[in-house]
Amino acid sequence: MIKIKVSELLGKHKMTRKELSELTGIRAGTVGMLYDETIKRIDVEWLNKICKVFDCPITDVIEYVPDQQLN
């Protein structure tokens, strides 16, 4: 599964979802879905903007976590 780490970044940088929305131009509702990890598709340009705001590599924004294997 893909883990979206926007909530962690916002906490680390003491930034609100609204501030991230304003700095990136990403709709507030979309930022909320990224924060809650309920979004189904992520635009590459959003990732670019988020990385630029936080001055971080993409791996700080999204991460692949292997699914648990069923026995």
Topology at the third CATH level for domain 2-64? 434 Repressor (Amino-terminal Domain) (1.10.260)
Domain ranges of the chain: 2-64
- Which pLDDT band holds residue 69 (cuts at 50, 70, 90)? low
- d(Cα 25, Cα 70) in Å, to the nearest integer? 41
The pLDDT score that the predictor gives to residue 68 is 77
- Total-model pTM: 0.88
The pLDDT score that the predictor gives to residue 70 is 44
- pLDDT tens, 49-63? 999 999 999 999 999
- pLDDT tens, 18-38? 999 999 999 999 999 999 999
